[in-house]
Amino acid sequence: MKLLTKYNRVNIAVTVVIMLVTGIIYYYTISHILTGQIDKDLELEENEVFSYVTKNHRLPDVYESNHQQIVFMPLGNKQVERRFLDTTYHDSDEKDLEAGRALISSVKVSGQNYRILVTQSKVETEDLIQIIFLITIGVIVSLLVILIILNRVILKSIWKPFYKVLFQLKEFSLVNNGVISNTPSTIDEFTELDQAVISMADRVKNDYQNLKAFTENASHELMTPISVINSKLDTLVQTDEFTDKQSNLLNDIYGTVTRLTRLNKSMLLLAKIENGLIQDNQLVDVKDVVKECIYQHEEMVQQLGITLKTTLGDKQLQANKSLIEILVNNLLSNAIRHNHQDGELSVYLDSEKLIISNTGEGSFDFGQVLKRFHKSDGSEGIGLGLTLCKQICDSHGFKLNYEHNDKKHAFSVRF
């Protein structure tokens, strides 16, 4: 529920309740005052009868005035209690019954008790109350409407900076190097929020940049010692004759340094892609890249006795060539390495997609293998191959998919 809706609901409910209670109190107060007024009229009439009787020793003539009737009734010896009561008023002109107020009293004329019943129509009073009631209702309704509109207009404009900040927060992305701009507001809370968000974004960005820069710098700095080790190894093997034991050790060191280099290069590449530092786009002929990759892998394909099927259509795209090479290389070498003896490998390329599918045991969780340093059992890789593929695809807007059926794995890249 929106704050405005919630606020309006509470506001309206409270306003309506207060208005209703006020209305009821108002109604009863006015009603009471007006009834008192009528009662006074009735008493006045009674007094007139009393004074008439005292003067003339007889009952006055019964007359009918505007909205007032007097009825005398002989009582005999009976007494009657003086009281006011609500009754109906029978207007002689109009046939309908109206609400009325009556005073029952008694008078003694020549030893004879008479009951006096003075009745007065309350129509005017009721009309008055009705008008007052209508006005009250009108005030309530217009007040509500004005409240709602006012709330809407004022709150909307008041909350504008808040929504602007919120929108910027939603759009904020570290990867895209998002910026949160200043949102001026006359309201202290929003200014504070804005400042807090801006300083938070700056801090987060700073930390993120530092982390990225660290990864990149660390990988970068490692390259120099690795190249020294590499060159020293190359120099060492020139020096003398080696025993089998020594040459085995040297081979192991060579292998490890190579692995270290590859690992480091992959990490550096990942960091660079994530930092958006690789943008050198050029026109890449994917068909040529795929052909070259297959050529590079021909020995492995032959050794495993893999049947290679290729259907290569033309596809050119604007991309970083070395990244596309890495993408195809990684997918292809995975498809070969995880293949079995006399297996099958098919490479399909058209203008929309590249599909590399191979025979192979088992299946795996695609989400898992995309994680960094995830390695399948017995894999000799460094566990960054598919992560790199995914990053390369993401950075170029491609979609990397995996399907598995019938002991066949298929990786597809949709351009």
Partner 1 sequence: MKILIVEDETGLRDSIEAYFTGSDSICETAKDFTSALAKVSVYRYDCVVLDLTLPHGNGLDIVKHLKGNGHNDGVLIISAKNSLSDRLTGLDLGADDYLTKPFHLSELKSRVTAIVRRRTFNGNNNLKFNEIDIDLDAKAVKVKDVVVKFTRKEYSLLLYFIANKGKVVSKSAIAEHLWGDSIDIADNFDFIYSHIKNIRKKMVEAGGNDYIQAAYGMGYKFAGV
Chain contacts with partner 1 (rule: CB under 8 A): 220, 223-224, 226-235, 237-238, 241-244, 246-248, 250-251, 254-255, 257-259, 261-262, 265, 268-269, 272, 277-278, 280, 295-297, 299-300, 303, 320, 322, 325-326, 329-330, 333, 337, 380-381
Q: How far apart are CA 14 and CA 52, in angstroms?
A: 56
Residue closer to partner 1 (CB basis): 181 or 235: 235
Residue closer to partner 1 (CB basis): 49 or 386: 386
Assign 173 to helix, strand or coil: coil
For the beta sheet containing 399-405, the strands, ordered from the edge strand earlier in sequence to the opposite edge, are 307-312, 344-349, 353-359, 408-414, 399-405
Q: How far apart are CA 120 and CA 126, in angstroms?
A: 12
User: Please, what is the minimum distance in Å from the beta carbon of residue 185 to partner 1?
Assistant: 43
User: Please, what is the minimum distance in Å from the beta carbon of residue 379 to partner 1?
Assistant: 10
- Beta bridge partners, 399, equal 414
User: Please, what is the minimum distance in Å from the beta carbon of residue 165 to partner 1?
Assistant: 37
Rg (CA), the chain: 49
Q: How far apart are CA 101 and CA 89, in angstroms?
A: 8
Q: Residues 350, 313: contact at Cβ < 8 Å?
A: yes
User: Please, what is the minimum distance in Å from the beta carbon of residue 155 to partner 1?
Assistant: 52
Pure H helices in 240-310: 244-274, 286-296, 298-304
Cβ within 8 Å of residue 132, ≥6 positions away: 26, 27, 30
User: Please, what is the minimum distance in Å from the beta carbon of residue 307 to partner 1?
Assistant: 19
Residue closer to partner 1 (CB basis): 259 or 372: 259
Residue closer to partner 1 (CB basis): 107 or 336: 336
User: Please, what is the minimum distance in Å from the beta carbon of residue 260 to partner 1?
Assistant: 9
* Percent composition of the chain: helix, strand, coil (DSSP 3-state, to 5): 55, 20, 25
Residue closer to partner 1 (CB basis): 280 or 361: 280
- The DSSP bridge pattern shows strands 64-65 and 399-405 to be unpaired
Q: How far apart are CA 396 and CA 318, in angstroms?
A: 9
Residue closer to partner 1 (CB basis): 34 or 271: 271
Residue closer to partner 1 (CB basis): 337 or 409: 337
Q: Residues 34, 128: contact at Cβ < 8 Å?
A: yes
* DSSP conformational letter for 153: I
CA distances from 285 to 315, 316, 394 (A): 6, 5, 19
Residue closer to partner 1 (CB basis): 231 or 311: 231
CB atoms within 10 A of CB 164: 16
Residue closer to partner 1 (CB basis): 143 or 228: 228
User: Please, what is the minimum distance in Å from the beta carbon of residue 373 to partner 1?
Assistant: 15
Residue closer to partner 1 (CB basis): 107 or 326: 326
CA distances from 313 to 54, 335, 349, 353 (A): 128, 20, 5, 10
User: Please, what is the minimum distance in Å from the beta carbon of residue 261 to partner 1?
Assistant: 6
User: Please, what is the minimum distance in Å from the beta carbon of residue 245 to partner 1?
Assistant: 10
Q: How far apart are CA 389 and CA 395, in angstroms?
A: 10
User: Please, what is the minimum distance in Å from the beta carbon of residue 318 to partner 1?
Assistant: 14
